[in-house]
Amino acid sequence: MISRWRRRAASRLVVTDPADHDVVAIAAANLRRDLATVTQATPGGDTQIWIGTLGRNAAIDRLIADRRIAAGTLKGAWESFLITSVDKPRPGVARALVIIGSDRRGTAYGAYELSRAIGVSPWYWWADVTPRHQANLHVAKGLRRFGPPSVKYRGIFFNDEDWGLVPWAATTHAPQEKPLGPKTYAKVFELMLRLKANLLWPAMHKVTQPFNADPANAALAERYAIVMGSSHAEPMLRNNVGEWTAPPDDFDYVKNADGVQRYWADRVATNAGYESIWTLGMRGIHDSGMVGPSTIADRRATLERIITDQRGMLDRAGIANAPQVFTPYEEVLDIYRAGLKVPDDVTLMWPDDNFGYIRHFPDKAERARSGGSAIYYHLSYLGAPLSYLWLSTTPPALIREEMGRAFDRGARQMWVANVGDLKPAELATEYFLSLAWDIEATRGQTIEHFVKGWAAENIDAAQARPVADIWRAYHRLNFDRRPEHLQWYRPGEKAQQSPLSIAKADDRLAEFAAMEQAATALEPHVAADRRDALFELLTYPVAASAAANRRFFAAEAHDRLRDSNLAEAIRRGMIAHAADATLRGLTQRYNQEIADGKWRGMMAVEPADGQWRSYRLIPPILPAPDVSASPTSAPTMAPAVTNPVLTPRQFALRTGWRLGDGLGRHDAVLVPTGQIGTVSATFTLPAGQWRAFVDVLPTYADRDGDPLRMTIAIDGTARRLEAPRQTGDRDWAKAVLDNRIALAVPVDLPAGAHRITLQSAGPGVMIEAVRFTPVPATDGLH
């Protein structure tokens, strides 16, 4: 049965109970506004929308008591809701669409689910996604149940906000308050609820006012039912960078335990009444090692004392059962592995390596802990070997593979993604949170299918396929090298050129140009009121990454050709300068023109300034412009040499292996399923002697330090390959910048037909390709 809503007074259409939670009233008010926006009035007629939480809405509770609604499965459920229709729920109301939540967030999620169903994207404000007008709204009769979520706590972390979020808030969005304040966080909290997130680690750099410095922030989070936490470096909800006013050396639990305890106890006293997750442990002031104890044994003993004392503070405040988390991050992981005793009910949060590859997966004992396991994952990062703070290029498929594996290994208590400034990481952020809400439904669809749906909702339904194709190219090309990593040496090292020949670089640039042209061609086909969204979500990251590559490789070609072909070198130099101007123009448009200047200050090309130079891309050196030169046509260049490559789709899949779509340089990787089975391919090599390399992603086995292992056979002879994995060493640094580890097969192959069989692979192995390179005449294996 279908009911049709006609225009009616908003207050009479969406009905709540004053006794319900604050967040329910907020969500209901937003739903009223969304209905008015979509219909350009307020739909109504003989239908009402009732929104309420079990036990907090008298009218809904009566319907349940009278068995008009079967809501028994909601009682005691976590963040769940149902949407159903009821005829004649009370005199004077012909029918009601009823949204019932098991708890306050469940109810709010239900209201926002309806908003999304009528065409209001979660990103309507943050990405200027104008809702489409609907003259009539129809609701199918029946009951729909949502939740509980796959992961209990699902959150984001604003970090390294110096170059986007804070300048924008301070100068454009909320200049009347110290950043970041309630006006900004209100928009953040609403977005989180629309994305079914529930946890925030607030921005914490020195440029940002500490979250709790303004009591209105914490009070606002409570009204929006957002759980507040703090990062691994900020125990007990304390922003050390902004709140620890004593000398840094006094942040020492061995020498100044009383001072540190008072510092933590003050926060427990002010925030005990709010829903929070308390980070336990201790590190340095700003993401650095703990001050004081020098040996692993002393650090372990000190940390155990600290955790005991922190839990005692929570106990004395009456919140001993509040969720608590401990993160073995950086040097703390070594202390944990040295036997650190962490109480069983404390959640263990496992980090990635800062580049999207998870370092540790819970073992059997860790999976049995009552506190469970969590994951801290990076979509943005400031740190060694090189930062990536500008464009969001982590492929959704990598998020799926890594977070899915973590979920399967028991990490289901809490997921937090470092989203940097949030923009332009909208797609990656939503994909991460979608996995956390319903992992089976999300990873059960291809990346292309997910992105097409996202494009239809946020850009244009008729252009969903070409948008998805562009995103696929974007992630594939930038996985090969992130725009922030367009240098092949680390800061402080001797400069060296990229390993790409000029011809290979030109091939890469041609792919970027095709992708950019496809994105530009979309604009006339997208409605005028969605073109700001198109630019923010797609055009800017696509065109900016293309311009960054064009600038770098043209400048490099200039340097390589300067002594041998001056005219061509000058032409390449002009291309580099033009690309630089394009990049500045794109960024100016983002900051000054899009949405009438709404995002002024948000976007900054990396490196944005001279801070943190040891972790950031060195500003490109462009050749001096030759003002006397005039553009010339490109000369004929020798074509790039292409060596044989076996890609994942060339293998005949059998039991034991699957394709991971949307990942790697060839848009798929081979992933072992854990079952016994092989996968094979035949190939023919041209004249000469050849060496094989198996390219794998720089993932981890069960834990950091364990090698990746696999066995392959070429022409029936099996060989075992290993890749040592130790976070922080030189091989790791190269691997995360390349997004690849090349495993050499110790045999030279002659020309002719061959057969390769992947016989087995240990946990974590993801195979991107098998490449063949000519063996130099002076080098050979026997």
Give yes or no for a contact between 159 and 241, defined as CB atoms under 8 angstroms apart.
no
In the numeric block, the tokens 């068995």 are attached to 67
* pLDDT score at 289: 87
CA separation for the pair 379, 152 (Å, rounded) = 20
Residues 6+ apart with CB under 8 A from 564: none
* pLDDT score at 44: 57
* pLDDT score at 629: 57
Strand partners, 672: 657
Alpha carbon of 561 to those of 386, 571, 637: distances in Å?
28, 10, 12
CA separation for the pair 639, 529 (Å, rounded) = 44
- Residue 208 has a CB neighbour count (10 Å cut-off) of 24
Phi, psi of 711 (to 5 degrees): -125, 130
* pLDDT score at 3: 44
19: its two tokens:
């006794």
Q: Count of alpha carbons within 13 Å of 481, Cβ hemisphere only?
A: 20
* pLDDT score at 7: 47
* pLDDT score at 591: 98
Give just the sign of the alpha carbon dihedral 450, 454, 455, 457. positive
* pLDDT score at 632: 52
* pLDDT score at 140: 82
* pLDDT score at 620: 84
* pLDDT score at 2: 35
Helix (H) or strand (E) holding 138: strand 137-140
DSSP state of 633: P
Q: Is 52 left (phi over 0), alpha (psi -120 to 50) or beta?
A: beta
In Å, the largest CA–CA distance within the chain is 93
* pLDDT score at 47: 87
Give yes or no for a contact between 195 and 415, defined as CB atoms under 8 angstroms apart.
no
Strand partners, 670: 659, 767
Looking at 182-295, list the stretches that DSSP marks H as alpha helix, in order from N- to C-terminal side.
182-194, 215-223, 240-243, 257-271
- Describe the crossing of helices 464-480 and 447-458 by its angle, rounded to 10 degrees: 120
Closest CA to 449 of 433, 467, 424, 437: 467
For the chain, residues with pLDDT lower than 50 are 1-8, 782
Closest CA to 576 of 541, 543, 623, 619: 623
Q: Is the pTM value of this prediction over 0.85?
A: yes
* pLDDT score at 286: 81
Alpha carbon of 764 to those of 366, 402, 406, 666, 707: distances in Å?
19, 9, 11, 19, 10
* pLDDT score at 627: 53
